[in-house]
Amino acid sequence: MNAFFAVLRRELFQFFLTPLAWVLGTAFLLLQGMHFYVLVDHFSRQRAFDGDTPIHAFFGETVVLYVILFLVLPAMTMRSFSEERRSGTVETLLTAPIRPVALVLAKYLATLIVYVALFTPTVLYLFIVGRTGTVDWGAVRASYFGVFLIGAMHLAIGIFMSALAKSQFVAFVTTAMIVLGQFVLGLSEIDATRGSLTQRIASHVSIWVHMNDFASGVVDSRHVVFTLSFAALALFLTTRAVESWREG
């Protein structure tokens, strides 16, 4: 357990000391802030509302959120194992008194903590909206829960891609392509025949559909099981990869 927390502290320390972390954090908050401002300005100019709100649009109806995740999540995970392998420090980790599963979970938890920290300042947006209107706190909680689940899934995938690649760039690109591929695959749900097999599959894997439901305050157990299962599978495969290094 001590080794687990030692790796966790090391990962958090290294992340927050690198210029990349502050560049990512600043860019993330600037883009999210501009995104929210444009939405609020758009809704303030409307005379009639169709039941939609800036918060629902922020989390579920624009592609900006997904574009940001497409760029930020791979950058957060690309160095997890690929940099360790490139620099040779992975040998030290493999000989340390820590099990591969604990090593993987420590690195994963570190990225998850940073991810949550990035989204924490966006809570201020809710208080801005609350000063001039009403906030559906049930939908807000569901929206943040959805953002957490989707981030947890993609971070696990990013950790796995980093374990497979010795290059940070390769890890970044492969993770970004998987995230983008899932988003594009989900878009086919729009054009597919209602009730068809294609539509059901696309709806099941689509992060667009998932976030629209969460933003509406609907926590569908199928979405929860899908994201957590995918994250667990990616972490399991990462652990197997790390074990193979130690055995080799």
Confidence category of residue 149, pLDDT binned at 50, 70, 90: very high
In 98-220, which residue ranges form alpha helices assigned H by DSSP?
Answer: 100-119, 123-132, 137-164, 168-191, 197-205, 207-215
Indicate if the pLDDT at residue 48 is higher than 90. no
Domain that holds residue 202: 2-247
**pLDDT reading at 49 higher than 70:** no
Residue 177 pLDDT more than 60?
A: yes
| Each residue's pLDDT tens digit, 152-174 | 999 999 999 999 988 899 999 99
In this predicted structure, the answer to whether residue 189 has a pLDDT above a threshold of 70 is: no
pLDDT of residue 108: 96
Grouping H, G, I as helix, E, B as strand and the rest as coil, residue 248 is coil
Instruction: Assign 198 a pLDDT band (cuts: 50, 70, 90).
Output: low
Q: Taking 80 as the threshold, does the pLDDT of residue 91 lie above it?
A: no
Give the span between the Cα atoms of 200 and 194, in whole angstroms: 8
- The count of domains in the chain is 1
Instruction: Give mean pLDDT, residues 168-189.
Output: 82
Average pLDDT of the chain to the nearest whole number: 82
Q: Is residue 9 over pLDDT 70?
A: yes
- Give long-range contacts, CB 8 A cutoff, 24+ apart: 105-110: 105/4, 105/235, 106/4, 106/5, 106/7, 106/8, 106/11, 107/7, 107/11, 107/80, 107/81, 107/159, 108/155, 108/156, 108/159, 108/235, 109/8, 110/8, 110/11, 110/12, 110/15
With cut-offs at 50, 70 and 90, classify the pLDDT of residue 126: confident
Residue 197 banded pLDDT, cuts 50, 70, 90 = low
Mean pLDDT of 140-144: 88
d(CA 59, CA 216): 9
User: What is the model's pLDDT at position 187?
Assistant: 66
Region 113-132: what's the mean pLDDT? 83
* Mean pLDDT (whole number) for 134-151: 87
Tell me the average pLDDT across 66-73. 81
Q: Residue 201 is encoded by which pair of tokens?
A: 């599959």
What single DSSP character describes residue 50? Answer: -
- Alpha-carbon distance of 53 to 216, in angstroms, equals 10
